[in-house]
Each structure stands twice: as structure tokens, then as C-alpha cells.
Amino acid sequence: MEGLFFNVNGGYVEGIVRGYRNSLLSGQNYSNLTQCETIDDVKLQLAPSYGDFLASLSPNPSTSDLASRMTDKLVAEFKYLIAQATGSSAKFLEYMTYGYMIDNIALLITGTLHERDTRELLERCHPLGWFETLPVLCVATNIEELYNSVLIETPLAAYFKGSLSHQDLDELNIEIVRNTLYKNYLEDFYNFINTHPDFSGTPTQDVMAEILQFEADRRSINITLNSFGTELSKLERRKLYPEFGKLYPEGSLMLSRAEDVEGVALAVSAVADYKAFFDAVGLSQGSGGLGGMSGGPADGKSLEDLFYQKEMDLSKLVFTRQFTPAVVYAWMKLKEQEIRNVTWISECIAQNQKERIGNFISVF
């Protein structure tokens, strides 16, 4: 039944996104890219999908320039989508931008804390996290003013309220602030797709719940792993875990008590997927340190790589469903991964480190 009227409002957006999806780089494209000798070759290979946006690049551009142009294209396409979307779909797309907003606001908080001119920071803000009143935040000269204007001007007020006071912004590490906000954001998003009448009981709820649960678990695991050896206490750490997901509540509790990698492996062993990841990188046996892309694992995959792989698989699956704005979310994730892949490949080419060039995640 949900498909009956979906196309009235959401059909066009979905159609556009499916078109965008077809321009994503395929395995064939990637293998062509890895054969390139210079960044110019890479540029040439990307021409069919990125044409106009790469045209203004200088010959042999830096990888960061290349990446920023590719991001420009993503932003332009997303802006078109959000302009076309209406009703609950528009709300859904807005939710997608909140994650970037959190990053932007964290950036401004850092700048204000160190008494920099925050106007200069506006250029560094992620364009997807841009909202009309973002420049207003630059007026604030101290952290209390900033806190008040964030509450008034931004859609993120709900995430600040209740969990962060303006003293917290001053005292807590910016990473803790960022992760607290992100936790609140994920919980809110999860709540939104589960309770909104347009989405509950639709494919949107099915696929997005799974993706968001995975996202929440991934954050919990990463925060735990990265907090070893830092001043972050277990109690503070626990506050950063999103309160949903496959690991919640038992796994989260065990994670909060974990003191080393084995503890984390034990905590996630209840979920088959994550257990497989930990087995694959050899963390559960306690052999070797935290594997990274340059680290110990034999096949060169790190836990982060496996998480990205899983995220891509989930995103790819979304396209098997119809009548849902979740395809936009999936397309965006795929596109971001594509930008990361191309950046990685061109970085390998620029630095002449071809032996690790295959370390990207190709989905199609």
C-alpha cells in the first residue's frame, strides 16, 4: 500500500537518484583508474562522470583539489534533490545534513574557544552542513553567546539541550562534545524514521533502521577502541554510545567495561557480523595490535575498512527497495566512499606507492 501514493510526492526525487546511481564508478572504472600514471590521467578517466566539475582544475592538480571538486559535484546534486523534495522526504533529507552541521558547529566551537576569527572558518565548513543562519554564529565572541545562538538559530538545539551546557563547551574536549551531539543526532534520526507516520511500516523504516543501527554500533566500537590510552574515562565513554543498535543494551554495557581489544571483541561477539570482522582482522585472538591499513593484517584490511565495506553493502542493498527516500541516503554514502576511493587512488599515484593502490572499496 505504501507504494500507492509515494510517487505523487517522492517519485521524481527517487527517479533522479537512481539516475545518479548509474553514474557511480564501476569496478571497470576503478581498474582503469589504478592503471593511471599521473593525476591528469585520473582526471581524464573521471571525465565521463565528473566532466564539468573537473574542467576548471589546473593541470596535475593536487589530490585535495580533486577531492574538493568531486565533493562540489556531490553537493550540487544533493542540493538539487533537497530542493525538489517535499513533505516527509524533505524532512528526511534535512536529517541527512545534520551530521555535517555537527561537524561545522564543532569547528566553530573550536575556533571560538581559541579566540580565532570564526569568519575565516566558514570557508572550511562542509557545504552540506551549511544552513542559512550559520554565519550568524560567527558574531558570537565567547562561548556562552555561541551556545545561545546555537540554541536559537540551528536545528541542532535539541541535541544540545539536556546533555550539554555552555560550561560543558568550555571544559569538555571538543571531540566529546562532537560525539555527544552525534549520539543525540543518531538517536533522533532513528526515532524519526521509526515513528513518523509516513515512514513507519514502510521500506524506509526497514532499511534505514538497519543502516542506522549499524552506524550506531560502529561508532560505539570505534569510540571504545580509540579511547584506549587516552584520558577518556569509562563513565564518560559510556555516555557517548548511542542507545540503540544491535549491541544495545548488553553489548554496550560490555563495551563500556572493556579495557582492551579483547574486551571489545568479547562485547561484540554476540553479533555475528561484528564477530566476523574482529576474527578477520585477528583482533579477537589478541594477536598483533590494532590493525590498520599499514598494520599487521595479512590481507591488508583494517577494522575500519571492513566497516566501510559493510556500510557500502548495506547502501547497495537499499537500491533493491522502492518507494523510499532512503535511496538518497544510500547514494550519498556510496558517493562519499567513491570520493574517498578516488582520493586514495590519486594519492597512491601521486606518492608513487602503487603496491597499496588496490586498497579501496568498490561496490558495483
Partner 1 sequence: MSGAVGREAVFPTRQSLGLMKNKLKGAEIGHSLLKRKSEALTKRFRGMMRHIPVPHLIEALIILATDITRRIDEAKQKMGRVMQIAAFSLAEVTYAVGGDIGYQIQESAKQARFRVRAKQENVSGVLLPTFESYTQEGVNDFGLTGLGKGGQQIQRCRETYARAVETLVELASLQTAFLILDEVIKVVNRRVNAIEHVIIPRTENTIKCLYRLLPVSLVQANHSEDINSELDELDREEFYRLKKVSGKKQRDVAAADAEILAARQMAAEQQAANPKAPGATAIPVKEVETVDVLGEQEDNDVIF
343 near partner 1 (CB under 8 A): yes
291: left (phi over 0), alpha (psi -120 to 50) or beta: beta
Task: Show the cell assigned to 211.
Answer: 543502516
Residue closer to partner 1 (CB basis): 4 or 114: 114
Q: Is there a contact between 239 and 168 (Cβ–Cβ < 8 Å)?
A: no
Pick the piece of the chain touching partner 1 (CB under 8 A) from 49-57, 79-87, 110-118, 324-332. Answer: 110-118
Rounded distance, CA 304 to CA 336, Å?
A: 15
201: left (phi over 0), alpha (psi -120 to 50) or beta: left
Q: Which of 301, 222, 325 is nearest to 11 (CA)?
A: 325
175 near partner 1 (CB under 8 A): yes
Residue closer to partner 1 (CB basis): 75 or 113: 113
Q: How far is CA 238 from CA 219, 290, 303, in A?
A: 12, 21, 21
CA 117 to chain centre: 28
353 near partner 1 (CB under 8 A): yes
Residue closer to partner 1 (CB basis): 67 or 318: 67
Question: How does DSSP assign 60-96, residue by residue?
Answer: S--HHHHHHHHHHHHHHHHHHHHHH--HHHHHHHHHH
Q: How far is CA 128 from CA 44, 71, 101, 216, in A?
A: 27, 10, 8, 21
Counting beta carbons within 10 angstroms of the beta carbon of residue 240, is it exposed (0 to 12), middle (13 to 18) or buried (19 or more)? buried
230 near partner 1 (CB under 8 A): yes
Q: How many residues bind partner 1 (CB under 8 A)?
A: 47
Which residues lie closer than 8 Å to 303 by C-beta, 6 or more apart? 221, 225, 277, 278, 281, 283, 290, 291
Pick the piece of the chain touching partner 1 (CB under 8 A) from 76-84, 187-195, 262-270, 336-344. Answer: 336-344
Q: Is there a contact between 315 and 208 (Cβ–Cβ < 8 Å)?
A: no
247 near partner 1 (CB under 8 A): no
Rounded distance, CA 287 to CA 221, Å?
A: 18
Pick the piece of the chain touching partner 1 (CB under 8 A) from 139-147, 158-166, 226-234, 245-253. Answer: 226-234
233 near partner 1 (CB under 8 A): no
182 near partner 1 (CB under 8 A): yes
Residue closer to partner 1 (CB basis): 108 or 193: 108
Q: How large is the greatest C-alpha to C-alpha distance in the chain, in angstroms?
A: 56
Among 191, 287, 351, 354, binds partner 1 (CB under 8 A): 351
Pick the piece of the chain touching partner 1 (CB under 8 A) from 16-24, 167-175, 269-277, 279-287. Answer: 167-175
143 near partner 1 (CB under 8 A): no
Residue closer to partner 1 (CB basis): 225 or 253: 225
204 near partner 1 (CB under 8 A): no
56 near partner 1 (CB under 8 A): no
- The contact mask relative to partner 1 for 273-312 (x = CB under 8 A, - = no) is -----------------x-xxxx------x-x--------
Pick the piece of the chain touching partner 1 (CB under 8 A) from 20-28, 90-98, 177-185, 275-283. Answer: 177-185
Among 13, 193, 207, 223, binds partner 1 (CB under 8 A): 223
Among 176, 208, 357, 363, binds partner 1 (CB under 8 A): 176
The footprint of partner 1 (CB under 8 A) covers 63, 67, 103, 106-107, 110-111, 113-114, 116, 121, 124, 126, 173-176, 178-179, 182, 218-219, 222-223, 225-227, 229-232, 240, 290, 292-295, 302, 304, 336, 340, 343-344, 347-348, 351, 353
